[in-house]
Amino acid sequence: MGMIRYISLLLFIGLVFWSCEDEQEPEDSTPPTVNITSPQNGTTVYEIATITCMSSDNEGVEKVELWVNGVSTELTDNSEPYSFDWNTTTLEDGNYTIIIRSYDTSGNTTDSEPITLTVDNSLSNPTSVELYPINYENDSFVITWSQNIDADFQSYSLYESFSEDMGGATLIYETDLLADTTYTVTGISSGETRYYQVVTKDVFGLESESAIGVALYTQLWSDIYDWNGVSDWGNSVIEVSDGYWTLGVGDERMRLFKTDLAGNLNTSTEFGFGYGNQILEADDGSLYLIGGGYDSDIGEYAMLVIKTDVAGTELWRQYLGVNSWGYGGLLDDNGKIIIYGEEDGNTVVYTLSQDGMNFDVVVAFDHNMDRAKGMVKVDGGGYYIAFSKDYETIILGTDENFVWETEANIAGYCRSLSLAGDGTLLATLQTSDSEHAYMKFYPQTGQIIWSGTAAGLYSGFQAGDSYYFVGHSDDGMSLFLRLNENGDIITTSSFGPGILSGYAVTSDGGLILTGTTSDWNDEQSDTPLYKTNLDGELGDTFNLLHGPGRISSIGINKDFNLTPVQMDQKQSD
């Protein structure tokens, strides 16, 4: 009986337990859903990229988690709306696979469909600043730059180098002040050149660099280089490593002198009866002097080329032609000297070997033209040559072998010809007895881009983004014109009485100019040198050493381009 009761009790307990198991909730095995809503697949992102998603679950979402390239970023969000701020600044640029994993409250997970995002943090670099032209003041370089405009700005760092590619640059200044955009470098010595660059950094550590700025100590000075108290003037000036050579005429003799970079006279010599119109420097520092003189062997005036060593000592001379006149020249790519001018009333161009022994006539162009008055070498090969007579000029285009290719006509008698940076030509021309013109034009057609007039103009050239023309005004004063790219005059200057004719662009970011302090060939004429900046300024170095000048009417029957000295009714040019 007792046993029956025991068995009945066991059956009762078993039934109760079975009844309780039947009433429990079934286990949740339904995973959540999740999809990325932003950004779209294939989007390029940078800096902090915001990624959003939607996720839901039948029981509830515990959290969502951001995974990149199969690795958890440990970025999670447990409340709607779900989003992540993904910092890409520590990553290399490239493609990344993004998924979001959703966890529900029962431990189920689901991964979203993956998307690919492209990280390109070059788009997030801070806005680079503009480094303004660097000024020299009181033995110092004053460096200024534009203010950064970004909200995430952190700092400016200023670097200095003695190399134009910023090699070996050193950090000389750093500031986290947004408006602190000026720094002064002191202790600058004469002739120094340094290079600067500003690096801007943002709060993410990303950087951008400014353009490299060059700081030049442009020396400003002027002086007069009288020769034995007689009439003298300068036609051509060049810069060499340790100074300036000037070539011209002194008492109807070819004169050459050298100064150091500060204008102190080092040496002066003359080469006999004649004139010098242009200096050319060879690769080894020796000089070629182009002009004319009296060839006693034939009893005639002739083109003259003199070769000197680096000290200006004559090595050899070569006369070219008969009754000929040399107005200028250049060196070709093979080292030959090219001399242009006139011979017996016709235009002529010679080539001369480096040793002065062999020469050829490469252009003999009558075509009713009297003189070859200018010549430039074209990038890629070939030449443009200006031929003039009366108030007419022909621009002849040739290949490197002087084979005729193009011809253009322009009005006026050419005084100078030079090549602009864009491949067009600059010319000064005499258009009447009392008026000259300057112009920029297309060499193949002669179409004028812009032009202007002045009383007397003898040279034109480009330096940087500006164009320059020099000569004299109608009241006998030297004339310096600086023009912008549109041909508008932005600077007009004078250095006192006289004429400006020869020029060189100097390595310290300035100009050196020569000419005469008075009328050609009068007894008051002396050779000046003016060392200016690119705006034609001489600072406090300039004093007017001469009285009012006088410029007589110059006709084209007397060729006063560059420096005229009357020789048997011909003019040195």
Every domain of the chain and the residues it spans: 33-121, 125-216, 221-571
Other beta carbons within 10 angstroms of residue 50's beta carbon come to 11
**Strand, helix or coil at 361?**
strand
**Strand, helix or coil at 441?**
strand
Q: Are 145 and 210 in contact (CB under 8 A)?
A: yes
- The pairing of strands 300-308 and 265-281 is unpaired
346: CB partners within 8 A, 6+ apart = 364, 365, 366, 369, 370
Cα separation, 228 vs 443, whole angstroms: 44
Cα separation, 263 vs 225, whole angstroms: 10
Cα separation, 262 vs 366, whole angstroms: 45
Tell me what pLDDT residue 380 has.
Answer: 83
Tell me what pLDDT residue 9 has.
Answer: 47
Cα separation, 463 vs 469, whole angstroms: 11
Of all residues in the chain, what percent are helix, strand and coil, respectively (each to 5)? 5, 55, 40
In the DSSP assignment, the letter for residue 423 is: S
Cα separation, 181 vs 149, whole angstroms: 13
Q: Which residue has the tokens 């508008």?
A: 488
**Strand, helix or coil at 66?**
strand
pTM above 0.75, yes or no: no
Tell me what pLDDT residue 227 has.
Answer: 84
Please tell me if the domain spanning 33-121 has the same topology as the one spanning 125-216: yes
In the DSSP assignment, the letter for residue 151 is: T
Q: pLDDT by residue for the chain (573 residues), tens digit each?
A: 554 444 454 444 454 444 444 455 678 889 999 999 999 999 999 888 999 999 999 999 999 999 999 999 999 999 999 999 999 988 999 999 999 999 999 999 999 999 999 999 877 789 999 999 888 878 899 999 999 999 899 999 999 999 999 999 999 999 999 999 999 999 988 778 899 999 999 998 889 999 999 888 888 899 999 888 888 899 999 999 999 999 999 888 999 999 999 899 999 999 999 999 999 999 999 999 999 999 999 998 999 999 999 999 999 999 999 999 899 999 998 889 999 999 988 889 999 999 999 988 888 766 667 888 999 999 888 999 999 988 999 999 999 999 989 999 999 999 999 999 999 999 999 999 889 999 999 999 999 999 999 999 999 999 988 999 999 998 889 999 999 999 999 999 999 899 999 999 998 888 999 999 986 556 678 999 999 988 898 876 544 443 333 333 333 333 433 333 222 223 334
The fold of the 125-216 domain, in CATH, is Immunoglobulin-like (2.60.40)
Q: Are 467 and 487 in contact (CB under 8 A)?
A: yes
Tell me what pLDDT residue 2 has.
Answer: 52
Backbone angles phi, psi at 228, to 5 degrees: 60, 25
Tell me what pLDDT residue 557 has.
Answer: 36
Tell me what pLDDT residue 367 has.
Answer: 64
Cα separation, 70 vs 298, whole angstroms: 94
Q: Which residue has the tokens 């075509």?
A: 367
Architecture of the domain defined by 221-571:
6 Propeller (2.120)
End-to-end CA distance of the chain: give it in Å, rounded. Answer: 150
Cα separation, 552 vs 540, whole angstroms: 31
In the DSSP assignment, the letter for residue 539 is: G
Residues in the chain: 573
**Strand, helix or coil at 284?**
coil
Cα separation, 201 vs 217, whole angstroms: 30
The first and second tokens of residue 194, run together, are: 């340094």
Looking at domain 33-121, its CATH class is mainly beta
Instruction: Name the burial class of residue 378, with classes exposed (0-12), middle (13-18) and buried (19+) by CB atoms within 10 angstroms of its CB.
Output: middle
Q: Are 145 and 156 in contact (CB under 8 A)?
A: yes
Long-range own/partner contacts, residues 440-443 (CB < 8 A, 24 or more apart): 440/467, 440/487, 441/408, 441/410, 442/408, 443/384, 443/395, 443/397, 443/406, 443/408
Q: Are 471 and 437 in contact (CB under 8 A)?
A: no
Instruction: Name the burial class of residue 141, with classes exposed (0-12), middle (13-18) and buried (19+) by CB atoms within 10 angstroms of its CB.
Output: buried
Residue 312: strand pairing partners: none
Instruction: Name the burial class of residue 274, with classes exposed (0-12), middle (13-18) and buried (19+) by CB atoms within 10 angstroms of its CB.
Output: buried
